[in-house]
């Protein structure tokens, strides 16, 4: 496929230029792609009131403005999440703001919710022929005087076109945003969104994307509030501001959120802790450092029903998607599971 053949060239470009070129290549190849090959039924599952052909999803950040969701579904993803989208367009933080840590299999970004705004994205989605599961990740404008109202506005504009909406209160790149994970502010935010959803008679599932840098008492607050306000699931997790001391890249000291391999252990521990608190009540999406079938399977066994990746896709190319699914099937078979659902949370319940 065009994106696969161009991967070597793209990695020679500066990271943000490579990302723009990738989106252009995906868009150019989209008309020539047929439907994705059917997945093995052992990977299919029901979650959030939806049927997923496989649990491997594309994380928010790749396609902020919902330009190529169907083309990415045709790469073999079970679902795609676009965004983060804010009510008003914004350019994001000054460049450079995206850094490859190739020796560490990681990326640091401080993009700052650069996007075209909810109205433009809504127009694009309204013209979309529905071909697979699409999530929309929403956020607040950096200069907003009422960030909670921003989430309500973005939800109102985008929820009618989404299979689920995720609420990004955990990006480290918008100053003060993570304060919305505190009890009082989070309750106000989730209460307002639940009210908006009910008033519009929408059944769109709501998910909350949380930080990997939470203390356990902060996780207790989030899971309590999320359960109390009817949130359907949690995405565990966003990027981290922590910097492991084993990083070797020259860019390791750059400000922003770290993703990729160094995030795997931290995010998976948080996933296990979250599963222990919400098992049976909330759907969990595991994100952070997934780069193989083994790392994907570890997230499933730690309690994730669904998975998302992005950094490894940028570093390895789209053939990674098929490899992960093939390796997942082998691991399920080796452990005697007949389908992916049986493996969810098996490390917690063991």
Ordered DSSP codes for 94-145 = PSP-EEEEGGGTEEEE---S-B--HHHHHHHHHTPPP-SEEEEEE---TT-S
Pairing verdict, β 164-168 and 206-210: parallel
Q: Give the C-alpha separation, 126 to 179, whole Å.
A: 33
Mean pLDDT across the stretch 162-172?
A: 98
Assess if residue 307 is contained within a domain.
Answer: yes
Assess if residue 10 is contained within a domain.
Answer: no
Instruction: Look at the chain and report how many structural domains it folds into.
Output: 1
Point out which residues pair with 98 in neighbouring strands. 109
pLDDT at residue 142 tops 80: yes
Judged on CB neighbours under 10 Å (0-12, 13-18, 19+), 167 is buried
Domain region containing 152? 40-349
Assess if residue 12 is contained within a domain.
Answer: no
Of 29, 144, 170, 171, the catalytic one is 171
Say which residue, 7 or 214, is predicted with more confidence: 214
Question: Within the chain, where are the H helices?
Answer: 2-5, 7-10, 15-29, 69-73, 118-126, 147-158, 183-199, 216-228, 264-278, 293-301, 311-316, 319-334, 340-343, 346-349
pLDDT single digits (tens) 23-78: 999 988 877 766 778 999 999 999 999 999 999 999 999 999 999 999 999 999 99
pLDDT at residue 130 tops 90: no
Name the pTM for this structure: 0.96
Q: What is the mean pLDDT of the chain?
A: 95
Q: What is the largest CA-CA distance in the chain?
A: 54
pLDDT at residue 258 tops 90: yes
Helix 216-228 with 264-278: angle, nearest 10 deg: 50
pLDDT at residue 350 tops 70: no
Assess if residue 5 is contained within a domain.
Answer: no
Confidence of residue 12 (pLDDT cuts 50, 70, 90): confident
pLDDT single digits (tens) 144-160: 999 999 999 999 999 99
Q: Give the C-alpha separation, 226 to 93, whole Å.
A: 30
Q: Which helix H or strand E contains 305, and what residues bound it?
A: none
Nearest to 80 by CA among 49, 57, 55: 57
pLDDT single digits (tens) 311-331: 999 999 999 999 999 999 999
Assess if residue 31 is contained within a domain.
Answer: no
Assess if residue 9 is contained within a domain.
Answer: no
Count CB atoms within 10 A of the CB of residue 199: 9
Assess if residue 178 is contained within a domain.
Answer: yes
Mean pLDDT across the stretch 109-126?
A: 98
pLDDT single digits (tens) 180-226: 999 999 999 999 999 999 999 999 999 999 999 999 999 999 999 99
Q: Is 171 one of the annotated active-site residues of the chain?
A: yes
Say which residue, 91 or 33, is predicted with more confidence: 91
Q: CATH number of the domain that 180 lies in?
A: 3.20.20.70
Assess if residue 17 is contained within a domain.
Answer: no
Position 9 scores a pLDDT of 67
Q: Which two tokens stand for residue 327?
A: 């390796």
Q: Which two tokens stand for residue 119?
A: 């109205």
Residue 304 has, within 13 A of its CA and on its CB side, a CA count of: 26
% of the chain with per-residue pLDDT over 70: 96
Say which residue, 279 or 190, is predicted with more confidence: 190
Count CB atoms within 10 A of the CB of residue 91: 11
């Amino acid at each position: 496929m065009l994106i696969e053949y161009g991967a070597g060239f793209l990695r020679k470009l500066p990271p943000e230029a490579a990302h723009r070129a990738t989106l252009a290549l995906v868009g150019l190849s989209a008309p020539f792609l047929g439907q994705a090959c059917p997945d093995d039924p052992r990977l299919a599952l029901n979650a959030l009131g939806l049927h997923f052909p496989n649990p491997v999803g594309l994380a928010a950040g790749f396609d902020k403005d919902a330009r190529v969701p169907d083309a990415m579904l045709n790469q073999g993803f079970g679902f795609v999440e676009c965004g983060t989208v804010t009510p008003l367009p914004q350019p994001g933080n000054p460049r450079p703001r995206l850094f490859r840590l190739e020796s560490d299999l990681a990326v640091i970004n401080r993009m700052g919710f650069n996007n075209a705004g909810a109205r433009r994205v809504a127009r694009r989605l309204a013209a979309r022929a529905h071909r697979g599961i699409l999530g929309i990740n929403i956020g607040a404008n950096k200069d907003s005087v009422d960030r909670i109202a921003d989430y309500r506005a973005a939800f109102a504009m985008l929820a009618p076109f989404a299979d689920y909406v995720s609420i990004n209160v955990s990006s480290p790149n918008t100053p003060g945003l993570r304060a919305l994970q505190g009890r009082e502010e989070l309750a106000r935010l989730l209460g307002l969104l639940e009210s908006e959803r009910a008033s519009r008679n929408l059944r769109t599932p709501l998910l909350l994307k949380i930080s990997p840098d939470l203390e356990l008492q902060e996780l207790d607050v989030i899971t309590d509030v999320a359960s109390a306000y009817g949130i359907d699931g949690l995405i565990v997790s966003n990027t981290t501001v922590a910097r492991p001391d084993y990083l070797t890249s020259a860019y390791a000291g750059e400000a922003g959120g770290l993703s990729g391999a160094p995030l795997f252990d931290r995010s998976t521990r948080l996933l296990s802790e979250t599963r222990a608190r919400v098992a049976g009540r909330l759907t969990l999406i595991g994100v952070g450092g997934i780069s193989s079938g083994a790392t994907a399977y570890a997230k499933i066994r730690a309690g994730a029903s669904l998975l998302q990746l992005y950094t490894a896709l940028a570093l390895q190319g789209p053939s990674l998607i098929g490899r992960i699914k093939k390796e997942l099937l082998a691991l399920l078979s080796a452990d005697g599971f007949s389908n992916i659902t049986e493996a969810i949370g098996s490390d917690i319940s063991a």
